[in-house]
Chains A and B, each alone.
Chain A
Amino acid sequence: MFLALVKKETKEHIFSRKGIGFLFVVSLLLSILSFSFISVKELSLLDQPTVVMTTLKLLLGINILIAMVIGATMIAGEKEKGTLESLLLTPLTKRNIILAKLAAILIFWLIVTLVSLPYLFVLAYQANLFPTVLLYLYGIGTILIISFSSIALIFSTVLVSTKNAMILAIMAFLITAIPMFLSTTMKKSGLAKVISENSPVSASMTAMKDIFINKMAAPQVLIELIPVFIFFLLALFFALLIAKKVDFLRGE
């Protein structure tokens, strides 16, 4: 039954026009970026680790956003369509429903990474970076995707409207991503400093720099990634805790 739900979600959200459309957009963006690295003079002067890092940042950013959009529509969408009732009548527990939806998002992420691998391979060509890229993508990338999808599923469970769940999910992502848009000066004071020091997005970016540029040892990088692991555990815990709230709309 669990697998059947995962299959249904995958078919609905990934192997659909919407899902392939998302894949096409990701591929188009990666193509534009990769093409810029060889055609824009300023970008062509960048070293390969920076090129790979920039591509990974774009890939992660877009995919977190897409995963959150998909996650936000999953439960709230069922409520809006009135299909939640039939889903709750299945022998699946509410927790398993959430887990099946998370699994579907994870499958989407794996397909996106498959689409992005040729780009990463040609950009990391002969620089001995590809194994590290795979490790980062499937390790830290997957953790981030699960964490943010869990947040989106929480909003989707608590709220009735897909639109509201989506707006809140995107806002949550943008708040954690604030340090990426700020200058180094702004990151050193006030709220931006607090977010910068604790944000899982910031921590993953710092770790990325230390892996690809500074070639730091694994233990040091793992320490830097503590906010990512904490965020992952908390997001997953609350997503499973809030699963109890997966219920019919009033009057249904």
Chain B
Amino acid sequence: MKKYLTILILFAGLLGFNTGIAKAQDTSNFTIEILSPAKVAEYPGKELKIKVKITNTTDQEIKNVFTYITMANLSKNWTVNLEDYSADQPVTIGTMKPHEEKIVNLPIQLVYTADYYLYTTVVSKENPVITSSVAIPVKIIGNTKIVPLQVQIVSTVMPLLLLVLLFITMKIKR
């Protein structure tokens, strides 16, 4: 009986310990919201500013705060390398006072044609709980008018012409 009780107490203790960690991970110090745009449907090359509102929801000052963009490619089910989109740099916010709100503009340039979800994340070095916003849909519309046949013809004919010219020159030299 004593043995069972000990096991029960140990389990209860472990459960309590685990719940504690889970609780700590659930607690976010921020709220983050994309104010504008609500959705994007633009051609590649367009530069946008994503306006984000970040709020410190705690009663304490939070240091070393920064925010950044993430994009998920819904057409290919992968995240995007934002260096191509000139959006790989986080924006440093610094210190946020208790219940302080900050509005930040995150720049991004649209590049590859596809459907995406764009969301923003706020991070503080002091807390491992990461907070992300609700995503906005981004559609980068394809607008290429390149005719593949034209490209194929030029890409084949030009080197061939020069190769023939090279052979003629070599023959003349001999």
Contact = CB atoms under 8 A, between A and B. Distances in A.
B158 A31 contact: yes
Contacts of B134: none
B165 A20 contact: yes
A213 B159 contact: no
B151 A38 contact: yes
Contact of B151 (A37, A183, A188, A214): A37
Interface stretch (A48-56, A71-79, A220-228, A243-251): A48-56
* Centre residue among B43, B112, B152, B162 by max chain A CB count within 10 A: B162
Interface of A: 15-17, 20-21, 23-24, 27-28, 30-32, 34-35, 37-38, 42, 44-51, 115, 118-119, 121-123, 125-127, 183-185, 188, 212-214
Contact of A122 (B88, B111, B151, B159): B151
Contact of A38 (B88, B145, B146, B169): B146
B155 A49 contact: no
A32 B169 CA distance: 24
B112 A122 contact: no
A32 B159 CA distance: 10
Main secondary structure of the interface of A (DSSP, over half): helix
Interface residues of B, number: 35
B145 A49 contact: no
A23 B165 CA distance: 10
A143 B136 CA distance: 44
Given A16-B169, A47-B45, A50-B111, A123 B159 contact: no
A185 B151 CA distance: 36
A185 B150 CA distance: 39
Given A34-B154, A50-B111, A115-B158, A184 B88 contact: yes
Contact of A48 (B88, B112, B145, B173): B145
B114 A31 contact: no
B40 to A, nearest CB: 15
B166 A38 contact: no
Contacts of A213: 45, 47, 109
A184 B45 contact: no
* Centre residue among B112, B113, B147, B165 by max chain A CB count within 10 A: B112
A176 to B, nearest CB: 22
A115 B113 CA distance: 30
Contact of A24 (B89, B147, B155, B166): B166
B162 to A, nearest CB: 4
Nearest to A26: B162
A116 to B, nearest CB: 9
A238 B163 CA distance: 38
